[in-house]
Chains A and B, each alone.
Chain A
Amino acid sequence: MSTTRTILICSGKGGVGKTTTTANLGISLARSGASTVVLDADFGLRNLDLLLGLENRIVYTAQEVLAETCRLEQALVKHKQEPNLSLLPAGNPRMLEWLTPKDMQAIVALLEERFDYVLIDCPAGIEDGFKNAAAAAREALVITTPEVAAVRDADRVIGLLNTQGISPVQLVLNRVRPKMMSSQEMLSVDDVTDILALPLLGLVFEDEQVIVSTNRGEPLTLSDGGSPAARAYSNIAGRLQGEDIPLMDPAKLRRGLRAKMRELMQTKIF
């Protein structure tokens, strides 16, 4: 059996950060030396290539590889700055009918021969697109935000992953706003983990740099900038590889800021 880790990145609800997580995790893992491929299984609305700035370099898709009209190497798009990272689009938007669970297993089997990590960017929903994407996964990351609807959908997806024997399933809580959490306008970390009952792999704060980097086609983790979300993503990559990195605590972060202010006041700078 291969030692490749094939990880599905899914959420149920749309727009909670699957593609952003896949791109940033891909960069972080690749940077740490692991050969990594990100597979865009959301090919109806594909945009992983956009986020990675690779849109104009795609020639083939997994579809041509399976039809043997091209070799796998030809279809893989290597990242410019991070050569350990490749992208493979599962299909193109005009081929909505093509992918079956068997196709997915065949293509992932090819990828597992040559990569340490296969990250699968899953489409939203729980229908065929999800089932295809999940067909070849061994483990999963469920992305959710601290909102009731997102948590509800995540719960549904976890139930489905459980029946498919995908394990471990771990949780990433995205778009956390410490201020709203502490004022209880948003579900707390405990509220979310209490319902979903999964190990929490990481917290990512709401960070406008995410949106800036998305538009630029350069994932945050690519530049060494220490924005909170960039750090969060590289921490998640670290934990995924078994490093023991403590979780950021939103409450502590806020206390930290206040404490710093108090220190500054005491030194009479203000």
Chain B
Amino acid sequence: MTLQLPDHRSQHWKDALPGLLEQEPSTAVELDCGDWNLNCTDLQQLLQILDGMGCRLRWLCSRRPKTVVSAAAMGLNVHPVEKMEQPSPRSEDQDGLLVHRGTLRSGDHLQCDGDVLIYGDVNPGARVSAGGDVMVWGRLRGTAHAGCFGSTKAKIVALHLRPVQLRISNAVARGPEDQPLDGLTEQARLDQGVIVIEPAETRSIR
């Protein structure tokens, strides 16, 4: 059976792959990479995980041209999948910026290595973690972690910033309890190891 890497909202592919392989009886693996944009380094890591579990890759498929190109460049057996009807919540990774369209609902956990832009809400019970910044073009009412690999420069920006909990690098803060002013975009950043919330800077982050 073809193994399917998880949706961006549920788990990072690196965390999911070992579990998928454990359930797979055959050692010759067919892998559907779905919407993940994988570069050569990613694919090398993927092959290492397979190798570590005594499996080899028969072929892989992907909806992302970038993944197909990288895989082909590495001499892997790869084929593209037709872009069928796109599910409404979907994510696209481009040069370290993951753009997620749609709302993250309770139980979702969107993870990415770089920055993330969510074009929708982050509901209570949903989580988002990014190696870089978290930007929410909507309401942030769940939990957000920016700089999850230790970056203290990372920021969390939202049109409406009322999270359950915020984390930046290793710092943790509970969200403010009062309602924000309408139309005031806020940001959270680290100031001497403490998370502070203030009106968002108008100059671009990068």
A: residues with CB less than 8 A from B are 126, 152-153, 155-156, 158-159, 162-163, 165, 195, 197
Contact = CB atoms under 8 A, between A and B. Distances in A.
User: What is the predominant secondary structure among interface residues of chain B facing chain A?
Assistant: loop
B87 A159 contact: no
B107 A165 contact: no
A67 B85 CA distance: 34
Contacts of A197: 103, 121
A131 to B, nearest CB: 14
Given A159-B106, A163-B87, A197-B121, 9 more contacts: A152-B106, A152-B124, A152-B125, A153-B106, A155-B105, A155-B107, A159-B105, A165-B85, A195-B124
B87 A165 contact: yes
Interface of B: 7, 9, 85, 87-89, 102-108, 121, 123-125, 141
B106 A162 contact: no
A156 B105 contact: yes
B108 to A, nearest CB: 6
Chain A binding surface SS class: helix
B90 to A, nearest CB: 10
Contacts of B124: 152, 155, 195
A162 B88 contact: yes
Nearest to A148: B124
Contacts of A155: 105-107, 123-125
B85 A159 contact: no
Contacts of A163: 7, 9, 87, 89
Contacts of B108: 159
A197 to B, nearest CB: 7
B144 to A, nearest CB: 17
B7 A158 contact: no
Nearest to B142: A155
B100 to A, nearest CB: 13
Contacts of B87: 162-163, 165
A1 to B, nearest CB: 15
Contacts of A153: 106
Closest 5 interchain pairs by CB?
A159-B105, A155-B106, A156-B107, A156-B106, A155-B105
Nearest to A12: B106
A159 B105 CA distance: 6
A139 to B, nearest CB: 15
Nearest to B9: A159
B111 to A, nearest CB: 16
6 contacts: A152-B106, A152-B125, A155-B124, A159-B108, A162-B102, A163-B89
